């Protein structure tokens, strides 16, 4: 999309997203595989970290279990991740962004928002800056990126998605409604699959349906909190200010905690309570570090020292104790360990990103205050009065070790 020069200058927010970043970096050393379906990830029961575009044509996406990826495409090539190289390339890309503007809000290793309103006099309109970034990253790093250019964060994000792969889309203010309103409501930034289904069930199928519903009616239909957010997203009037971070994007990769029982345990209630204590411990550490993660891992060790792990990647990063515990409990129950004695249990959260960069998926009837606020109240009490000052009710009276 294009617009008049004054309109284009009014689109200062860029969302730059590397195309199949991990796969693209891995394939730099294997040009013979560029046209073949390739995924990056662990073997066995691991999940796909990234898939190149030939692999995506088979329905393979990130977070798909590797076993399913092999069923979808038996001849897919699996490359092991090289995190050091990924971090090095990411740091170089972020440095290129900061050559343009100091206002860079990194979302992950492979994407960031840029505010270029202070750079247009030196470098030209935002659309030209986007094209310069695209060509520079390709020339210097040997990978491609897509860029969305708009007046707000959510519209820039949607534009970069539509620009993939290796493209630029500018959405000037005069074209925001024609760009947004025909889209399925599930494409709005932060709307997950569950909320999309619920919105469809309440008659909101397109973004235009949301936009043309009076705000009070929208709030009554889906709740005040979600209704207000959807209204702004549907008109492209959401956030336009960024939260810059200095330095390269280098989060810790994971945080976890284990517990070895004083005696082997088979009682599900005892095990689930212990998992809750570990989740509270890990969640507190994550909140203290200002990070959240998407991949939640359960570890169990049997009385014969056999150890297994199970993981599941969530659509959205979290640092909320109850959400981590809910997923860990599901993973435990899915193992079907009734009557089997355990020596150790562990919880780990991986794929950590700065909490400030996590854009919470919108949910119907979501209260303004809930579990995240409760966690932070517990954190404040713990800092002031010690780790035993506040704990979940099910843990009251339970000793730290030897259940």
Q: Kindly report, residue by residue over 177-223, the tens digit of the pLDDT.
A: 999 999 999 999 888 888 899 899 999 999 999 999 999 999 998 88
DSSP structure class, residue 45: T
181-235 CATH fold: DNA polymerase; domain 1 (1.10.150)
Where in the sequence of the chain do the CATH 1.10.150.20 domains occur? 181-235
Among candidate residues 111, 259, 274, 323, the one labeled active-site is 111
Q: How far apart are CA 387 and CA 59, in angstroms?
A: 46
Which residues make up the CATH 3.30.70.270 domain(s) of the chain? Answer: 1-180
Higher-confidence position of 356 and 290: 290
What is the reported pTM? 0.65
- Say what the pLDDT of residue 60 is: 95
Superfamily of domain 254-395 in CATH is DNA polymerase, Y-family, little finger domain (3.30.1490.100)
Residue 140 a catalytic site member: no
User: Mean pLDDT, to the nearest integer, of 227-255?
Assistant: 79
Residues 332 and 385: their CA atoms lie apart, in Å, by 33
In 92-192, beta strands by DSSP E: 104-108, 111-115, 145-150, 168-170
Show binding-site residues for Mg(2+): 17, 110
pLDDT score, position 212: 96
d(CA 402, CA 204): 53
Segments of the chain assigned to CATH 3.30.1490.100: 254-395
Asked whether the beta carbons of 325 and 279 are under 8 A apart, the reply is yes
pLDDT at 159: 97
Contact 341, 266 (CB under 8 A): yes
pLDDT at 382: 55
In tens, the pLDDT along 96-135 reads 999 999 999 988 889 999 999 989 988 999 999 999 999 9
In this structure, are residues 77 and 39 in contact, taking their beta carbons and an 8 Å threshold? yes
* 1-180 placed in CATH 3.30.70.270: yes
């Amino acid at each position: 999309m294009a617009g008049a020069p004054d309109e284009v200058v009014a689109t200062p927010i860029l969302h730059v997203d590397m195309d199949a970043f991990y796969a693209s970096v891995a394939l730099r050393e294997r040009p013979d595989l560029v046209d073949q379906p390739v995924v990056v990830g662990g073997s066995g029961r691991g999940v796909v970290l990234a898939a190149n575009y030939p692999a995506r044509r088979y329905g393979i996406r990130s977070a798909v279990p590797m076993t399913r990826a092999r069923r979808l495409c038996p001849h897919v090539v699996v490359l092991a991740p090289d995190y050091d190289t990924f971090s090095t390339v990411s740091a170089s890309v972020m440095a290129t962004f900061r050559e343009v503007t100091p206002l860079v809000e990194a979302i992950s290793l492979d994407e960031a928002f840029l505010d270029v309103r202070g750079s247009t006099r030196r470098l030209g309109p935002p659309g030209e800056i986007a094209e310069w970034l695209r060509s520079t990253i390709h020339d210097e790093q040997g990978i491609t990126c897509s860029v969305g250019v708009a007046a707000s964060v959510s519209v820039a994000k949607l534009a970069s998605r539509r620009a993939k792969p290796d493209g630029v889309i500018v959405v000037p203010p005069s074209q925001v409604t024609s760009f947004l309103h025909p889209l399925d409501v599930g494409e709005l930034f932060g709307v997950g699959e569950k909320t999309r289904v619920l919105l469809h069930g309440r008659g909101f199928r397109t973004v235009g349906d949301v936009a043309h519903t009076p705000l009070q009616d929208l709030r009554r239909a889906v709740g005040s909190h979600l209704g207000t957010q959807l209204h702004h997203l549907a008109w492209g009037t959401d956030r336009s200010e960024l939260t810059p971070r200095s330095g390269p994007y280098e989060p810790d990769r994971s945080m976890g905690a284990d517990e070895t029982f004083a005696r082997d345990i088979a009682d599900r209630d005892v095990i689930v309570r212990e998992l809750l204590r570990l989740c509270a411990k890990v969640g507190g550490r994550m909140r203290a570090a200002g990070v959240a993660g998407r991949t939640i891992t359960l570890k169990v060790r049997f009385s014969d020292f056999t150890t297994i792990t199970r993981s599941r990647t969530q659509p959205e990063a979290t640092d909320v104790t109850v959400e981590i515990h809910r997923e860990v409990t599901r993973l435990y129950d899915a193992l079907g360990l009734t009557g089997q004695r355990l020596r150790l249990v562990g919880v780990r959260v991986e794929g950590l990103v700065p909490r400030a960069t996590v854009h919470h998926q919108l949910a119907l009837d979501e209260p303004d205050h809930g579990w995240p606020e409760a966690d932070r109240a517990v954190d404040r009490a713990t800092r002031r009065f010690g780790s035993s000052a506040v704990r979940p009710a099910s843990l009251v009276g339970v000793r730290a070790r030897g259940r």
